[in-house]
Amino acid sequence: MANLSHEHQYWPTRSWRTSTPEEQGVDSELLVKACDLILEKELHIHSMLIIRHGYIVADVYFYPFAVSTLHDLASCTKSFTSTLVGIAIDKGYIKNVQQPVLDLLQGRDVANVDARKKAMTLENLLTMSSGLACYAEPGEITLREMFQSLDWVQFTLDLPMMEPPGTRFEYCSPGSHLLSAIVRETTGMTTLAFAQKHLFQPLGISRIIWPVDPQGINRGWGDLHLAPYDMAKLGYLYLNNGQWDGIQILSPEWITTATNKHSTPPDGYGYGYQWWLSSPEIYSANGRGGQQIIVASGLDTVVVLTGGLSDEEGVKRDEILTSILVPAIKSTTPLPPNPDGVALLESRIHQATLPQDKPKPVPPLPPTAQRIAGRTYELDANPLGLSAFSLTLLKPEEALLSLSSRDFALELKVGLDNVFRITPKGRFDLPTMLRGCWEADDVLVLDWDEIGNINTWQVSMSFSNDSVAMQMAEETWHSPITINGRLKQ
């Protein structure tokens, strides 16, 4: 499925080279149209990177996301994890994909063992056909249950079987986490250390965030953070049959097998080894919120998209992809120069970097704001692990939200004048931004955009006497939840 028809003039190990779209057979005016639609529809797309014949022809960052910021890949991580499985097989750490999962993860007292679970293979995990009672709907319910457990690998292995492995596609993020555990178990290295040695370093990827589970196993299903430029390198590696600057990082056989159809999702063309297939020549790594690494082998093209899209916005994004971006790739040879189109594209790329929110007058703060200012509220146990918060009034148009959880302690500025305030170091030391207003005398509403960490929260805090009810909704994944709390005595 890969295409090596173009002649390599360089490898983007250190940096990507750029080109006008027309020089690579791409219509710059259609790229302008795509940017216009994203801005017009106010889609939460954070970046759009288009690489043709190895050259960047469009590199767009929509405010407030910036070129230097890492981004949560969400389930695009799965395609990196499966790649590491392929490398482990190439290097002899794992025999083949037909090895039983229980043989690869020995030394555990596993529940619900029967003939079906004994027959579950590495390939069954790779193709989302494990047979485990693991469910994506509603809201990745089994993944949430895994999160609440003390041992994520044990939790997943203990799941009962619902059918023989290989029978049917059932999206299962906990199964992808088992892949990371298998890499660690068979190589004797953490998944990240193995990736750094055999994948990231050869590709020139050095800025990485990859969280771990309670046992220190990198999350095989999601939350790997990379810059869009480095996301594209995985797609380019696959586009070039696993070869990178004279090094065979991944075998061509694995590339072909991993991007062939092995199972059929209910609403898609096919699924390979943790890769989604749109057609025999187009496959992608897909993640919640609009993360995508699209490899179009017949077009010699890699497209990387990041964002914080809702499901509805994702449909509009797909329409832009199919009706504008794919048709923009018009020729295998250069098109006539179009300096006006290129200039227009550059102006749209600049426009995308500008903030869209405008300041509004700040109404007088209600008595509740003064009463709670600087006081700490302790929160009941909740799925997000939040433990306490306080709100400090810095000036009429700005406040400071101090928020703590089992994983972090943050101090986040909040704009009260309709303008987001960006805090450079949010979760994982990545920027986050908030704005808020008093919807009623005792109700504070916050818009909380985590930018590179995907999540866009709508938070409503209702204060009554010494208690608070905090309702939190999130556009890309989380079901609304209510967290109750009370003033710290």
Helix (H, G, I), strand (E, B) or coil at 250: coil
Please state, in angstroms and rounded to a whole number, the distance separating the CA atoms of residues 485 and 489: 12
| Band of residue 4 on the pLDDT scale cut at 50, 70, 90 | very low
- Of all residues in the chain, the percent with pLDDT exceeding 90 is 91
Q: Average the pLDDT over 256-279 and give the result.
A: 94
Q: Choose the CATH number for 367-487 among 2.40.128.20, 3.40.50.20, 3.30.300.30, 3.10.580.10.
A: 2.40.128.20
Helices (H), 48-113: 77-90, 101-104
Q: Which two tokens stand for residue 84?
A: 């590491």
For residue 374, pLDDT beyond 70: yes
Fold of the 17-352 domain: Beta-lactamase (3.40.710)
Listed by start position, the domains of the chain span 17-352, 367-487
| Count of CA atoms in the C-beta half-sphere (13 A) of 73 | 30
- What torsion do the CA atoms of 348, 350, 356, 361 make, to the nearest 10 degrees? -140
Please state, in angstroms and rounded to a whole number, the distance separating the CA atoms of residues 289 and 414: 23
Q: Which residue has the tokens 């088992």?
A: 178
- CA proximity to 173, closest of 147, 208, 199: 147
Q: Specify the pLDDT at position 3.
A: 42
Say which residues have a Cβ less than 8 Å from residue 318's Cβ, sequence separation at least 6: none
User: How high is the mean pLDDT of the chain?
Assistant: 95
Pairing, β 247-248 against β 243-244: antiparallel
Q: Average the pLDDT over 322-351 and give the result.
A: 96
Tens digits of residue pLDDT in 85-135: 999 999 999 999 999 999 999 999 999 999 999 999 999 999 999 999 999
